[in-house]
A and B are shown apart, each in its own frame.
Chain A
C-alpha cells in the first residue's frame, strides 16, 4: 500500500443526466458516468480512453468542477472537493485546470492573447503591477513555444496548433498541480498533433504536473500516459500501466480496441479487427455486463451481473468474468 495521499482520488463517482423522451413520457435518467473509482498520484500521467459518448469527457468535467457529480466523492490532495462552492471552490480552481478539445471554441474571439492570459492573474491577484503581469505572460508564452509579439494578437490570427498552445498557456499560468487534457489534439491537423504532444510531455517534466489525458486515440495516450484507464459506457473496464496494457490487454474490449490501431509497418499488414455491433443504448443498458452484446467471449454468466473491477495481476485491474 502506498503511504502518501494520492493527489486525486475518486470514489464511486456517478453522473446522471435526465433525458426527456417526448412530451408525455416520463423523464428517463441515463448514467453517463457509472460508479467509477480511481486515484491518481502526484506526477502521474493517466490516460482515459474510450469510444465517444462513453463518459470520459463527463468524468473530466466533474474533476475540474464544471459539472456537479450526482453522487460520489472527489478528493484533491486529501480534501473533499465534490461539493465545494464559492470562495473555497475558487481556491481549488487554481490547482486544477483543463485544456479543451477545440481551440477554435475555447478562446474568446474578442480578447487578445494578453487579455486571455492576464485575467487569471488578476482574479487570483498573483501579480501586482502591469509590468509583472506582462512578465509572467511572456514567460508562459515562451514555455509553450510562442513569440513575445504574439501577445497582442487576437485568436483568429493563429493556426489551430498555435491556438492550442495559447489554451495550454492559459491553463498553466496559475501554476496548477493537476491538468485535465480533454482530447487536446483531436481537433488539430496530424502534423501539428505531434508538436502539441511533445510540448505537453516537456511541460509535464518542467512544471512537475499531473495529467489526466482524455482521448479516444490509443496512440496518443500511449505516447503521453504512464497508466491507462479504459472506459466503456460509463464504467471503467480495465486499468493498467501503459507498458503492461499494451503488452497484455486483458479485457476483451481493450483487446479489440488494440486491434483497431492501424500499424504503419506494411510487413505487419493485418486485417483490422472490428468490434461487432454498436454501443447499446444508455437509456436501456444490457442487464449484465454492458459489453456482453458485442463480446466474443460472452457466456450466460455475462448476462446476469456486471463484473466488478478487480485486480487480476498486480497493478492490473479488469472488469470481466472470463479472465
Chain B
C-alpha cells in the first residue's frame, strides 16, 4: 500500500469530520488554554480564604460554590488544570523521549540489546497500573518532583513497546536497505529514516498517556500521596470533599467533573488521532 505524507491539515480535516474526535480536540485545547491562562482568568486567588462564606453553594459570585475554608472552587478547578497538565505533560514528555530512544534502539538492533531493554520494561509492566506509581511515591514521599518521576517510570515501558513495534515493522521496508547501500550509518538510518515514519502511533500513545497520567495524579491526590494541600489539585480537593458530600456536594462535583471531562477529552482526542493517522481507516 502506498504510504502518504500525512500533512497537518489532512489530519485536522479528518478529526473535524469525526464528532467524538472534534469534541475531544475542543476539550483538550480548552483545558490547555485554561491551564496556561489560570492566573488571568481565575476570579479569585485559589488559596484566599473567606471563612464567612464557608461551604456556600454555587452563586453568581462563586459559580462553582465555596469550599470548607471559604475558597472559591472555580478558581481552584482552574488552577488545578494548570497543576495536572504541567505535571502530566512533563512526565509524558520525559518518558516519551526516553521510551522512544530505548524502544527504537531495541527494535532496530534486536538480539541481546532488545532482550535486556524489553525484559527490564516487562518487569515494570508486571505491576498493576497505578500500584507502581503508588509504590514509587510511597517510597520517595509525596511531592511534585517525585510525582513526575513516578509517572515517568510508569509511562516509559508503554512508549518503548509502541516504538519498538513500529520500528520493527518499518525497518523491513526496502528504503532502509537502500539507505544502507548509499552509505548511511545505523544512527542516521534509525533516527532520520525509520523513526519519522513511526511517529503516528507514538503521538496517539502520547495523547492517551496524558489521560492516564492525569487520572493517576488525581488518584494519588485522592489517596493523599499526590500534590499536598493547600495547592489546588482536583484529586486532593475531591478527597477533602468526601466528608462534606451531603452538606456541600458542589465541593466534590466540580473537581470530579473536571477530572472526568479532561480524561475523556484526551481519550476521545487520542482515539480520533488514531483513526485520522491510520491510513487503513482513511475513508471513514
Residue positions of A touching B, CB distance < 8 A: 61, 64, 66, 90, 93-94, 96-98, 100-102, 104-110, 119-120, 123-124, 154, 156, 167, 170-171, 174
Residues on A with C-beta less than 8 A from B174 are 100-102, 105-106
Contact indicator B179/A108 (Cβ below 8 Å): yes
CA distance A106 to B176 in the complex (A): 8
Residues on A with C-beta less than 8 A from B178 are 98, 100, 106-107, 167, 170
Task: Contacts A66-B177, A100-B174 given; indicate if A109 touches B5 (C-beta within 8 A).
Answer: yes
Q: Which of B37-56 contact A (CB under 8 A)?
A: none
CA distance A110 to B177 in the complex (A): 16
CA distance A101 to B175 in the complex (A): 11
Quick check: is B196 within 8 A (CB to CB) of the other chain? yes
Residue on B with the closest CB to A176? B181
Residues on B with C-beta less than 8 A from A101 are 174
Interface size on B, residues (CB 8 A): 19
Contact indicator B197/A66 (Cβ below 8 Å): no
Contact indicator B182/A93 (Cβ below 8 Å): yes
Task: Contacts A101-B174, A106-B174, A170-B178 given; indicate if A123 touches B183 (C-beta within 8 A).
Answer: yes
Give, as a whole number of angstroms, the nearest-CB distance from A52 to chain B: 17
Interface majority SS (helix, strand, loop, mixed), chain A: loop
Quick check: is B110 within 8 A (CB to CB) of the other chain? no
Give, as a whole number of angstroms, the nearest-CB distance from B39 to chain A: 40
Contact indicator B196/A120 (Cβ below 8 Å): no
CA distance A107 to B196 in the complex (A): 14
Task: Contacts A109-B3, A156-B5, A170-B182 given; indicate if A100 touches B177 (C-beta within 8 A).
Answer: yes
Residues on B with C-beta less than 8 A from A167 are 178
Give, as a whole number of angstroms, the nearest-CB distance from B42 to chain A: 43
Give 24 CB contacts A-B under 8 Å. Answer: A61-B177, A64-B181, A66-B181, A90-B183, A98-B177, A100-B177, A101-B174, A102-B174, A106-B173, A106-B175, A107-B178, A109-B3, A109-B197, A110-B197, A119-B179, A119-B182, A119-B184, A123-B182, A123-B183, A154-B5, A156-B3, A156-B4, A170-B182, A174-B182
Contact indicator B181/A97 (Cβ below 8 Å): yes
Contact indicator B5/A94 (Cβ below 8 Å): no
Quick check: is B144 within 8 A (CB to CB) of the other chain? no
Given A97-B181, A105-B174, A110-B196, 14 extra CB contacts under 8 A: A100-B174, A100-B177, A100-B178, A106-B175, A107-B178, A108-B175, A108-B179, A109-B5, A110-B5, A110-B197, A119-B184, A156-B4, A156-B5, A174-B182
CA distance A155 to B197 in the complex (A): 14
Quick check: is B17 within 8 A (CB to CB) of the other chain? no
Instruction: Kindly identify which residue among B173, B179, B196 contacts A105, using a CB–CB cutoff of 8 Å.
Output: B173
Residues on A with C-beta less than 8 A from B179 are 108, 119
Residues on A with C-beta less than 8 A from B5 are 109-110, 154, 156
Residues on B with C-beta less than 8 A from A174 are 182
Give, as a whole number of angstroms, the nearest-CB distance from A160 to chain B: 9
Residue positions of B touching A, CB distance < 8 A: 1-5, 173-175, 177-184, 193, 196-197
Residues on B with C-beta less than 8 A from A123 are 182-184
Residues on B with C-beta less than 8 A from A97 are 181-182
Residue on B with the closest CB to A96? B181
CA distance A109 to B6 in the complex (A): 10
Contact indicator B197/A124 (Cβ below 8 Å): no
Give, as a whole number of angstroms, the nearest-CB distance from B171 to chain A: 11
CA distance A252 to B181 in the complex (A): 37
Task: Contacts A154-B5, A156-B2, A156-B5 given; indicate if A107 touches B175 (C-beta within 8 A).
Answer: yes
CA distance A93 to B4 in the complex (A): 29
Give, as a whole number of angstroms, the nearest-CB distance from A280 to chain B: 28
Residues on B with C-beta less than 8 A from A64 are 181
Residue on A with the closest CB to B180? A66
CA distance A171 to B197 in the complex (A): 22
Residues on A with C-beta less than 8 A from B1 are 104
Give, as a whole number of angstroms, the nearest-CB distance from B200 to chain A: 11
CA distance A171 to B174 in the complex (A): 13
Interchain residue pairs A-B with the least CB separation, the first 5: A106-B174, A120-B182, A109-B3, A100-B174, A123-B183
Residue on A with the closest CB to B195? A110
